[in-house]
Amino acid sequence: MAADGDDNIFVYMGGEQEVPDGVTHAIIDPSVNIVRRHAFEDRGRLISVIFHDGVEIIEEGAFNECVSLRGIKLLGVREIRDEAFRRCYDLSDVEFGDRLERIRSGAFNSCISFRRIKLSSLRTVSPLAFSHCKHLTDVEFGVNLERIGSNSFYYCPR
């Protein structure tokens, strides 16, 4: 379901549901615990997504190239898979919850608006997870960190 106009809100129900091209705001339905691969890919007008704390996995490329996405709260997410938020150029405000254990390869590649991130429960950062986040200046990890993959922060010059 999507409304017309600038305040277009879409409720994501999961499964094989098609996400409209022009969607600007989305809400993840409480019945969804996995955002499927490529579900929101290339939705260039998407500005915000409201996640509930029952979302556990964000699959490959789920929000790939959502270039206008600005901020998200991933409070219940345990795993963010390959290239899930790749090329989300405007994404600057991400709040990670205390359940996040793994960020896979290229998950936040080219999120050039990132400045600071706090990953208190993270165990594994896969290769290239935050590559090309060229404005990233601060990363805070918790005591659970076990592994940072090669080039996880490749071309993060700041």
**Residues shown for the chain:** 158
Per-residue pLDDT of 99-123, as tens digits, reads 999 999 999 999 999 999 999 999 9
For residue 143, how many other CB atoms are within 10 A of its CB? Answer: 6
Q: Rounded mean pLDDT of 16-44?
A: 96
The per-residue pLDDT for 73 is 96
Q: What is the DSSP letter of 156?
A: -
pLDDT of residue 3: 42
Q: What is the mean pLDDT of the chain?
A: 94
74-91 pLDDT, tens digit each: 999 999 999 999 999 999
Give the SS3 label for residue 93. Answer: strand
What pLDDT band is residue 28 in, cutting at 50, 70 and 90?
very high
Please state whether the predicted TM-score (pTM) of the whole model is above 0.85: yes
Give the separation between CA 50 and CA 116, rounded to whole angstroms: 21
Nearest residue to 130 (alpha-carbon basis) of 86, 96, 68, 97: 86
Residue 8 is predicted with a pLDDT of: 79
Note every long-range contact of 45-49, with CB atoms under 8 Å and residues 24 or more positions apart, other chains counting: 45/21, 48/24, 48/72, 49/25
